[in-house]
Structure 1
Amino acid sequence: MSEYDIIVIGSGPGGYIAAIRARQLGFKTAIVEKEENLGGICLNWGCIPTKSLLGKSEIYRLIKESEKSGIKAKEVSFDIKLIVKYSRDAVGKLSGGVAYLMKKNDIKVYKGFGKLVGNNTIKVVGDKGEQEISSKHIILATGVRARNLPGIEVDGDLVWNAQHAMTPDKLPKSLLIIGSGAIGIEFASFYSTFGVDVTIIEKQETILPLEDEDISNLAQEIFTKQGIKIYTNNSVKAFIKNKDSIKVQLSSGESKEFDRVIVAVGVQANTENIGLENTKIKLNSSGFIETNEWYETNEPSVYAIGDVAGPPCLAHKASHEAVICVERIAGKNVHALKKECIPNCTYSHPQIASIGFTEKQAIKNGHDIKIGRFYSNFNGKSIVLDETEGLVKTVIDKKTGELLGAHMIGAEVTELISNFVLVKQLEGTNFDIKSTIFPHPTISEMIHESVLAADGESLNS
């Protein structure tokens, strides 16, 4: 039996980063992965391929809209198969990069399904049969998968999950997306840009229900103007598959027919068949593995990081947890992750990004707040780029000046949000942002103006 200091089950952005950090700290390390390609869902079927698809749709949109600014392009067209191929090729390069990092860092990779069998031992079942490996410490990074809806079977033909939606052979004429979180909104943006008639159904009062209400409302207004049909406070009451279409009856009473349906209603943890019954590990009411702030489970020397340990289910959160977990094992002086410092990003057009409390959450948590808003149509760079539909909203504590939250919609806000991330991580205040010199002309000036606006000091609106 092979013995290690640390074994990681799962090679996603939590798992492979945990393995690399472990080797950097001198631990004999192995990683177990059931899929052929390393990198997990994020790299192979999530963050990376979707951003590739959205990037190509953005190019197409810019070309189509260029004539009004004096750039004329004739007979603009696209090939969806080549667009999909480009995204899969990008995935292949990055997955190969993870494999290279494993080899470079002398991390043993076991291809197969890993299962806890007790006594710090893992049984790996793969193409080469079964083998057992043991370790002083085991880190579970098994991730999540798409959640299904009762009565709506994902078949890969008429009804898709995210994986099917990333690899279409051809585009449908009409598409229903059930769920308006980041995944649903990104697919709506992608397909709508290429001319598909897109409808979104959301059971909550607003789309993007985790975002600040001002951002959600503005996003809905913009998406509606783009031609996306949105039905909030609604759900699927009846679902009938025909030969080449699906007839859907909404809870509001309306009946509609679509060529394809994407189910994007969240995720569930991959905890089945990994041997939890052989341990003291507990799941919470939502089915995620319970841990403390150092990712220790109830089973001694077994840890859980990333999506399987609970939301927010984000790659950057998983990677950060991986480093904290391994450094804690190594006895280093580490700080626990602050969830209020985790940014959220949606890569639609326009982009959406946020960090910290929404306005309602800040009030609910007892803060006396002031709000700053600055709209893109007052920003010089946004105007020259013809990206004038956007907003930066800041939530600030009146007494201390603490930045409680920041919420953005507009061009490149998934890049701009890092400014606010740094402010929160460094426990900065509105004074720090107001005293910062932002370069002109940039979209980032909206950050400055939004904070100034909270005190009625905006200079450009």
Structure 2
Amino acid sequence: MTRVVIIGGGPGGYEAALVGAQLGAEVTLVERTGLGGAAVLTDCVPSKTLIATSEVMTMIERAGELGLKISSSGEDDSIASSVEVDLAQVNKRVLDLAQAQSESISTKLEQSGVTVLKGSARLDGPQAVIASLDGTEKRLEADIILLATGTTPRELDTAPCDGERILNWKQVYNLTELPERLIVVGSGVTGAEFANAYDALGVDVVLVSSRNQVLPGEDQDAAAVLQDVFERRGMEILSECRAVAAAREGDEVVVTLEDGREVRGSHCLMAVGSTPNTADLGLEEAGIALNERGQIVVDKVSRTSQRTVYAAGDVTGVFALASVAAMQGRIAMWHALGDAVSPLDLKSVSSNVFTAPEIATVGVTQAQVDASEQKVAQIMLPLAGNARAKMQNVSDGFVKLFCLPITGIIVGGVVVAPSASELIHSISLAVAEKITVDQFSHDFTVYPSMSGSIAEAARQLHLHSHPEEEKASKTQA
């Protein structure tokens, strides 16, 4: 029987363990904090649970525009002003849900026959692991090893997080009362999501962005929509400003900017990236190569520079998504244990920014198109013309589709809308299965629906994917 040892119980680790057990391997998983890892305990599940609460507040804010009111309202005669946010209860629900999800994973692993050890671990060469368990060490021989150790929130030496006033994204759930004024440092996905959530909960938010627009790594048309929404809500955005320090002064936090200005608030959330958990893993001694960012280098089947050692998840720096980590872990086991496997294809990965509106993307990006990496036809349709959007009083957002000329094969898309994370799935299927815009547009959608705009975008791309027809129509005109 093949012996598999996995270090780390996040999505990459526990999904790999399930596949390994399914394929008949003897699987041991070592996890030091809790099954599910950061994705379940301190990142995806908690943050999206918090965001779910903020989404309800966003809908309540729009209630008056839809003709809804209550007879005894708050100070400004709106429904939103009559709703009080109990952050202690919100965060208790967040953490309870995360723990329940972790316990569910534990039960699933146990039922699958996976041995779970609570503790930390390090490599002892490429075919053994030393597990530290309650002060004792246990050597685990392994035919295959998978490293899925994740990342840790990055902190600035000049802005140490204390878990009370200066927080990283793992510590925000310690709060029992809403901040009076929250300074969010960093306008990437994490910073934008938390800024959006706390703004919706009624907090005065200041977003410090080192770029000229939020979400610098996302589709810039989509980022422009979100920036406009943030500003119309009254959020203060300090663009092209870099925070160099943060310190407590009594009940305040003072954030110092690179140009010498100071920003004061009651709390500060540092969302300035993450660092891979590779220290004290014995990687160098085992001959495991790292890149310049300290991440473990893997190939398309999750294998490291040692043929018996695989790695999955954020520690590899491939794509910081739970879904990608899980797929990397599965692929590693399929490959290592001789099952049928296809290499990881990032072109079919869909991702989402959980703001209001949400931003979902898949496949070819606008940046790649603009850099002429791939010749494509494209269309962008504002949601403002969509009947369902009008009914729901949604005016911010759009659908963007990319297809190959001549063949019309859909190669990418962007959706900016409420529940974009659900709407992107049809485009993801189109990209993965190489569906053409004509095939896509011939399938029925519900009327009225947001998804109708995706089909309409495909219909409008018909002539772009058939340049001879477009030329003929222009000639006739």
**TM-score interval w.r.t. the shorter chain?**
over 0.9
CA apart distance, 1:204: 2.3
* Alignment partner, residue 392 of structure 1: 399
* Alignment partner, residue 423 of structure 2: 416
Counterpart CA distance in 2 for 1:57 and 1:119 is: 46
- Equivalenced residues, count: 454
CA apart distance, 1:261: 1.1
Q: Give the SS at the match of 1:389.
A: coil
Counterpart CA distance in 2 for 1:402 and 1:229 is: 42
Counterpart CA distance in 2 for 1:244 and 1:29 is: 50
1:344 lines up with 2:341 in the alignment: no
Q: Give the SS at the match of 1:247.
A: strand
1:57 lines up with 2:54 in the alignment: yes
CA apart distance, 1:30: 1.0
1:46 lines up with 2:46 in the alignment: no
Q: Is the 8 A contact 1:368 1:399 kept in 2?
A: no
Written as runs of structure 1 = structure 2, the 5 A alignment for 1:58-457 is 58-73=55-70, 74=73, 75-118=82-125, 120-127=127-134, 129-237=136-244, 239-251=246-258, 254-454=261-461
Q: Deviations over 1:310-362 (max 9, x none)?
A: 13110000111111111111212311111111111111111111112222312
CA spacing shift, 1:454–1:207, aligned 2, 3 Å: farther
Counterpart CA distance in 1 for 2:293 and 2:7 is: 21
Q: Deviations over 1:218-241 (max 9, x none)?
A: 110111111222222221245443
Which segment drifts farther, 395-404 or 123-132? 395-404
Which segment drifts farther, 117-126 or 134-143? 117-126
Q: Deviations over 1:143-195 (max 9, x none)?
A: 11111224211111221100112331211111111111111111011110111
* Alignment partner, residue 8 of structure 1: 6
Q: Give the SS at the match of 1:291.
A: coil
CA apart distance, 1:450: 2.2
CA apart distance, 1:455: 5.1
Counterpart CA distance in 2 for 1:455 and 1:345 is: 27
Counterpart CA distance in 1 for 2:294 and 2:369 is: 28
Counterpart CA distance in 2 for 1:43 and 1:365 is: 39
Counterpart CA distance in 1 for 2:112 and 2:264 is: 53
Counterpart CA distance in 2 for 1:452 and 1:206 is: 32
Counterpart CA distance in 2 for 1:119 and 1:290 is: 15
CA apart distance, 1:256: 2.3
Which residue type is aligned with residue 32 of structure 2?
Answer: K
Q: Deviations over 1:115-135 (max 9, x none)?
A: 111251111112152111111
RMSD of Structure 2 on Structure 1 (CA): 1.8
Which segment drifts farther, 379-388 or 183-192? 379-388
Q: Give the SS at the match of 1:234.
A: coil
Q: Is the 8 A contact 2:408 2:462 kept in 1?
A: no
In structure 2, list runs of 5 or more residues that go unmatched. 74-81, 465-477
Counterpart CA distance in 1 for 2:94 and 2:53 is: 9
CA spacing shift, 1:305–1:237, aligned 2, 3 Å: closer
CA spacing shift, 1:386–1:20, aligned 2, 3 Å: same
Which residue type is aligned with residue 89 of structure 2?
Answer: L
Q: Is the 8 A contact 2:163 2:174 kept in 1?
A: no
Q: Is the 8 A contact 1:29 1:107 kept in 2?
A: yes
Which residue type is aligned with residue 60 of structure 1?
Answer: M
How much identity, in percent, do the aligned residues show? Answer: 28
Q: Give the SS at the match of 1:256.
A: strand
Q: Is the 8 A contact 1:22 1:326 kept in 2?
A: yes
* Alignment partner, residue 475 of structure 2: none
Q: Deviations over 1:385-438 (max 9, x none)?
A: 222211111222324323232112111101111111111111222222222221
Q: Is the 8 A contact 1:45 1:163 kept in 2?
A: yes
Which residue type is aligned with residue 438 of structure 1?
Answer: T
CA apart distance, 1:454: 3.8
Counterpart CA distance in 1 for 2:221 and 2:23 is: 45
Q: Give the SS at the match of 2:152.
A: strand
Which segment drifts farther, 3-12 or 349-358? 3-12
Which residue type is aligned with residue 19 of structure 2?
Answer: R
1:31 lines up with 2:29 in the alignment: yes
Q: Give the SS at the match of 2:360.
A: strand
Q: Is the 8 A contact 2:149 2:277 kept in 1?
A: yes
In structure 1, list runs of 5 or more residues that go unmatched. none
CA apart distance, 1:203: 1.5
Q: Is the 8 A contact 2:86 2:177 kept in 1?
A: no
Counterpart CA distance in 2 for 1:288 and 1:316 is: 18
